[in-house]
Chains A and B, each alone.
Chain A
Amino acid sequence: MNSRIFHIATNTFREAVRDRVLYNLIAFAVLMSAAAVLVGQISIQIERLVVINLGLTAVSLFGIVIAIFIGIGLVSKEIDKRTLYTVLSRPVRRWEFIAGKFFGLAGTLVVNTFFMAIGVFAALAYVAHQFVSSDVSILVALYFIVLQFVIITALALFFSSFSTPIFSAIFAFWLFVIGSFAQDLRNFAAMTHSFTRWLATGAAYVVPNFSALNVIGQVAHGESVSSQLILLNTAYAVVYSVAVLSAAVLIFERRNLK
């Protein structure tokens, strides 16, 4: 079982790479180089701050775009192109297929982020000429960004298992947007009454909690992130993704592949 998931994951990764998704790294490198050079001229005193803010925001946005763009096609493309038929006629269980696709895309994003992290640190070194101990928190911010990717991947895959790419993209994107306000949504829900409160609270807890996973601002100012938060966020990302993937499996298991 495990080896099949591994092979599907590897194949998904290989497909993404050959689909030239890693070329986005070139665009990213250009962006970071330009930023590193310009920042020194525009924002004196806060070069470090700007480079970290810009770098991490770019890593986050690039990755989310990739996660959505590739994620929405993960299942629907295989159905459209009928490559899925030859896979499922083999001793591959449907849930293994979902799991394999998930790990494949998540893995792609981790690799992508790894290279981007090098870019961010390179730009930082160029601009600030040295690293300080607080720069370690940049790694934490990157880790949280990866957790965001994991959740988005699960969501995109979930929508892909029953919806067309266009709708999957729209749903996934909106969930990302709403997820960034998750905190506000919960506060809002607490202020409403009776039925609206039910609805709002439900929505607020179903929506992915991206507000907690964005520590770019504080890391840019050299503040550290508590290990408790690291643990809790990891647990949340894992649990949430598992939930979403289970839903995907539930739908996919029953689906007639016409």
Chain B
Amino acid sequence: MRAIEILGLEKIYSAGFWRKRSKRALRPLTLAVEEGEIFGFLGPNGAGKTTTLKILMGLVFPTSGTARILGMELDNPRMKAQIGFLPEQPYFYDHLTARELLQYYGQLSGVDAKQLSGKVDAILEQVKLSNAANVQLRKFSKGMLQRVGIAQAILHDPKIVFLDEPMSGLDPMGRREVRTLIEDLKGRGKTVFFSTHILSDAEALCDRVGIIHQGELRGVGAVAKLTASVHGKVEIVWHGSTVPTGIRSMGAECRAAGETMRVIVPEENQDAVLEALRREHLRLISVVPVRTSLEDYFVAQLGAPAKSEVVSSGN
């Protein structure tokens, strides 16, 4: 059984006073997440990440398509007891203290009353908010609120944790902590589905990522595979200071460094360059693939035109 299974989820908002204009927030999305993996949902702002999450949480109803979490329907309370959710820029009941808030949420999640107190304390410890446990939430800083948010998401020991932009608003220390937490969750066998537009986080944490742009899924897969799919580059270093004619005609930029010349060319030109160097009897020093970053992949995807047509307004 897959942890999350999304089949053709689509969301079209009808906007405007007479509901004539439609806005397609989500093109039919199909996606699956396995248990125990960390899945990153990437995309620029407004891409549809939050919409997807809201549909999964049952806050928004899809125009078409279905989804299942842990094999159960989205409105199944048994399923909801096993998931946790941290919304974007969370805000909580002003007048409650951190402890009271977590107790409240624990009660709503059906945590056993006898164990609740202990669990709350443990979680507060885990997110390093023990000394602010009895402070009212309206006095919390953004970073502290984020940590409370994570706390309420994992308090009831859910199988899957959904995080919407968990790193937003955090300082580097905070982000490191959240990263550690996510890794920790995975270590405990939990599935983590989080959305972000910060690629470095995704690169570091995720087993797999999905990239969404303008409501459409542009790519899904392991980070390494995705970056490999972009035409890689190689860096070729040779001895000397001359540039073979063949290379120059490729239009690639060569740089001199001490007694060596180096050039970065697309992978497919690698053989041609090596051939050129051989013909001129230049001594090859190294051929090293340049690692494509996810960012490159990202930019490449986003630059590509949308596969499906744009819905015209005034339908």
Give min CB distance, A178 to chain B, whole Å: 28
Is A86's CB under 8 angstroms from B80's CB?
no
Is A85's CB under 8 angstroms from B87's CB?
yes
Is B85's CB under 8 angstroms from A89's CB?
yes
Question: In the docked arrangement, what's the CA distance between A84 and B105, Å?
Answer: 11
Is A90's CB under 8 angstroms from B108's CB?
yes
Is A92's CB under 8 angstroms from B108's CB?
yes
Is B87's CB under 8 angstroms from A87's CB?
no
Hey, which chain A residues are within 8 Å of B77, CB to CB?
Answer: 91-93
Give min CB distance, B159 to chain A, whole Å: 13
Question: In the docked arrangement, what's the CA distance between A81 and B85, Å?
Answer: 15
User: Contact flags (1/0) for B56-85 with A, using CB distance below 8 Å?
Assistant: 011111000000000000000110110111
Question: In the docked arrangement, what's the CA distance between A78 and B80, Å?
Answer: 20
Question: In the docked arrangement, what's the CA distance between A104 and B149, Å?
Answer: 24
**Known contacts A89-B80, A91-B109, A257-B60: does B104 contact A83 (CB below 8 Å)?**
no
Is A3's CB under 8 angstroms from B107's CB?
yes
Q: What does DSSP make chain B's interface, helix, strand, loop or mixed?
A: mixed
Question: In the docked arrangement, what's the CA distance between A19 and B136, Å?
Answer: 12
Question: In the docked arrangement, what's the CA distance between A108 and B152, Å?
Answer: 27
Question: In the docked arrangement, what's the CA distance between A8 and B89, Å?
Answer: 23
Partner of A86, one of B54, B61, B89, B152: B152
**Known contacts A15-B95, A86-B90: does B85 contact A258 (CB below 8 Å)?**
no
Is B81's CB under 8 angstroms from A91's CB?
yes
Question: In the docked arrangement, what's the CA distance between A257 and B51, Å?
Answer: 10
Give min CB distance, B7 to chain A, whole Å: 20
Hey, which chain B residues are within 8 Å of A91, CB to CB?
Answer: 77-78, 80-81, 108-110
Q: What does DSSP make chain A's interface, helix, strand, loop or mixed?
A: helix
Interface residues of A in 182-226 (CB under 8 A from B): none
Is A82's CB under 8 angstroms from B87's CB?
yes
User: Contact flags (1/0) for A54-85 with B, using CB distance below 8 Å?
Assistant: 00000000000000000000000000011111
**Known contacts A4-B108, A18-B95, A81-B91: does B58 contact A89 (CB below 8 Å)?**
yes
- State whether the Cβ of B96 lies closer than 8 Å to any Cβ in chain A: yes
Question: In the docked arrangement, what's the CA distance between A186 and B77, Å?
Answer: 45
User: Contact flags (1/0) for A233-258 with B, using CB distance below 8 Å?
Assistant: 00000000000000000000010111
Hey, which chain A residues are within 8 Å of B91, CB to CB?
Answer: 81-83
Question: In the docked arrangement, what's the CA distance between A86 and B181, Å?
Answer: 19
Question: In the docked arrangement, what's the CA distance between A3 and B152, Å?
Answer: 19
Is A89's CB under 8 angstroms from B60's CB?
no
Partner of A88, one of B58, B92, B153: B58
Hey, which chain A residues are within 8 Å of B81, CB to CB?
Answer: 90-91
Is B105's CB under 8 angstroms from A257's CB?
no
Give min CB distance, B47 to chain A, whole Å: 16
Question: In the docked arrangement, what's the CA distance between A81 and B96, Å?
Answer: 14
Hey, which chain B residues are within 8 Å of A90, CB to CB?
Answer: 80-81, 105, 108-109
**Known contacts A3-B107, A8-B108, A90-B80: does B95 contact A257 (CB below 8 Å)?**
no
Is A85's CB under 8 angstroms from B152's CB?
no
Hey, which chain A residues are within 8 Å of B89, CB to CB?
Answer: 82
Question: In the docked arrangement, what's the CA distance between A14 and B107, Å?
Answer: 15
Given contacts A14-B100, A91-B80, A93-B77, 14 further A-B contacts (CB under 8 A): A7-B107, A15-B95, A83-B93, A84-B59, A85-B54, A85-B85, A85-B87, A89-B58, A90-B108, A90-B109, A91-B78, A91-B110, A256-B60, A257-B60
A contact residues vs B (CB 8 Å cutoff) = 3-4, 7-8, 11, 14-15, 18-19, 81-93, 254, 256-258
